[in-house]
């Protein structure tokens, strides 16, 4: 009942052109009516996000899609049927009515149906598709609890819909269907292997492409204030000896240095658990005024691919054993 009241309030605010943080299974989003350019502009302002970086539009049903896109390729349809509601975003050719501000002037629009009952209700009650970049200042880690949103954007937004901690913890997988072949723009909550098992091989955009077509594909992103180092080995640990260091471990931590604090992502080595803990764990380390965070690599398969993508961007370390994946 309390939730329903909060959803109603949030929907009213969206209808009146306000901005509301909302929960999803991946991370919290910062929402506004996708067809209200003034409200969308405020989302960019509050996030301090450059206008050249387009937004994802969230829908609650297939009827909303008709307002946004001209046609849906059959592969996209198959994936939507399989993974929606869920952490998959598809980039499709947009209708002229979709404001250019939302898509940064691109001929395409990114769409997803989030798997969170409060937000599906919110979209239905507000009666419009809702834009939703992650609810964090541009370039910083995405929020996975309402508390994270409150800490960073609290005073500047109209409402925070608290739906508890996010289940998946890394952002959606983004796939583009704007060319002949489908292309992975960002690894995320739906593993590439699961997508390829349905539609076959998907193109992977090289990370050092000269000019990214989605401007959000910036190499440095998801970054805490404390420097994160990803590619380190015991060899170069000597130079860190006098520093206050935190360790972001995947499973059991190795104690070859005196770490100030250790965060373990998943004792069992479970990718889902590790992804769900990732941003919270980095935030906790970031709050400790450390000199440095050393992060352990995780195997690059399944959700491990999304985790490594976020760690690389957070650490600005761009060498990828994959030959360079991707995006955003």
Binding site for ligand TXA (CB under 6 A): 24, 26-27, 29, 53-56, 87, 89, 91, 103, 106, 108-110, 112, 114, 132-134, 171-172, 174, 185, 214-216, 328
Min. distance of Cβ 161 from ligand TXA in angstroms?
12
**Nearest-angstrom CA–CA distance, 37 and 135:** 18
By beta-carbon proximity to ligand TXA, the closer residue of 161 and 249 is: 161
- For residue 326, the 8-state DSSP code is -
CB of 255 to ligand TXA, least distance (A): 35
Select the binding partner of residue 76 from ligand TXA, Mg ion, none (C-beta < 5 to 8 A, by kind).
none
Query: Phi and psi dihedrals of 30, rounded to 5?
Result: -115, 110
Are 28 and 22 within 8 A, CB to CB?
yes
Q: Near Mg ion by CB under 5 A, which window of 129-137, 145-153, 155-163, 265-273? A: 129-137
Give the one entry of ligand TXA, Mg ion, none that residue 56 binds, where binding means its C-beta sits below a cut-off of 5 to 8 angstroms depending on kind.
ligand TXA
User: What is the smallest separation between the CB atom of 217 and Mg ion, expressed in angstroms?
Assistant: 11
CA distance linking residue 49 with residue 328, whole number of Å? 13
Out of ligand TXA, Mg ion, none, which partner does residue 24 contact, by CB within 5 to 8 A per kind? ligand TXA
- Judged by beta carbon, residue 147 or residue 296, the one nearer Mg ion is 147
Of 51 and 62, the one with the shorter C-beta distance to Mg ion is 51
Q: How many residues bind Mg ion (CB under 5 A)?
A: 1
Task: Give the 3-state secondary structure of residue 86.
Answer: coil
Contact status: 134 vs Mg ion (CB under 5 A): yes
CB of 244 to Mg ion, least distance (A): 28
**Which residue is nearest to ligand TXA, using beta carbons?**
216
Which residue's CB is nearer to ligand TXA, number 86 or number 246?
86
Q: Are strands 159-160 and 20-22 parallel, antiparallel or unpaired?
A: parallel
Residue nearer to Mg ion on the CB measure, 106 or 125: 106
Contact 96, 2 (CB under 8 A): no
Return the number of the residue (214 or 303) whose C-beta is nearest ligand TXA.
214
**141/228 with CB nearer ligand TXA:** 141
List residues near Mg ion by CB under 5 A. 134
């Amino acid at each position: 009942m309390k939730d329903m009241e909060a959803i109603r309030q949030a929907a009213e605010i969206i209808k009146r052109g306000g901005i509301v943080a909302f929960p999803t299974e991946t991370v919290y989003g910062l929402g506004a009516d996708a067809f209200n350019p003034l409200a969308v502009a405020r989302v960019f302002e509050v996030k301090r996000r450059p206008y050249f970086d387009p937004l994802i539009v969230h829908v609650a049903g297939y009827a909303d899609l008709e307002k946004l896109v001209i046609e849906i390729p059959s592969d996209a349809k198959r994936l939507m049927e399989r993974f929606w509601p869920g952490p998959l975003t598809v980039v499709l050719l947009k209708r002229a009515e979709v404001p250019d501000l939302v898509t940064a002037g691109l001929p395409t629009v990114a769409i997803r149906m989030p798997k969170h009952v409060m937000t599906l209700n919110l979209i239905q009650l507000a009666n419009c598709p809702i834009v939703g970049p992650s609810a964090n200042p541009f370039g910083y880690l995405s929020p996975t609890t309402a508390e994270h949103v409150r800490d960073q954007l609290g005073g500047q937004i109209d409402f925070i819909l608290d739906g508890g901690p996010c289940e998946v913890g890394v952002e959606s997988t983004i796939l583009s269907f704007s060319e002949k072949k489908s292309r992975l723009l960002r690894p995320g909550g739906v593993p590439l292997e699961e997508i390829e098992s349905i539609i076959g091989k998907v193109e992977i955009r090289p990370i050092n492409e000269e000019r990214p077509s989605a401007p959000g594909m910036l190499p440095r992103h998801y970054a805490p204030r404390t420097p994160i180092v990803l590619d380190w080995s015991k060899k170069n640990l000597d130079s860190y000896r006098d520093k206050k260091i935190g360790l972001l471990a995947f499973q059991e931590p190795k104690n070859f240095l005196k770490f100030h604090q250790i965060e373990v992502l998943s004792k069992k080595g479970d990718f889902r658990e590790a992804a769900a803990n990732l941003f919270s764990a980095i935030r906790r380390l970031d709050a400790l005024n450390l000199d440095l965070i050393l992060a352990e690599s995780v195997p690059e398969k399944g959700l491990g691919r999304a985790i490594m993508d976020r760690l690389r961007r957070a650490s600005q370390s761009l060498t990828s054993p994959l030959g360079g994946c991707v995006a955003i």
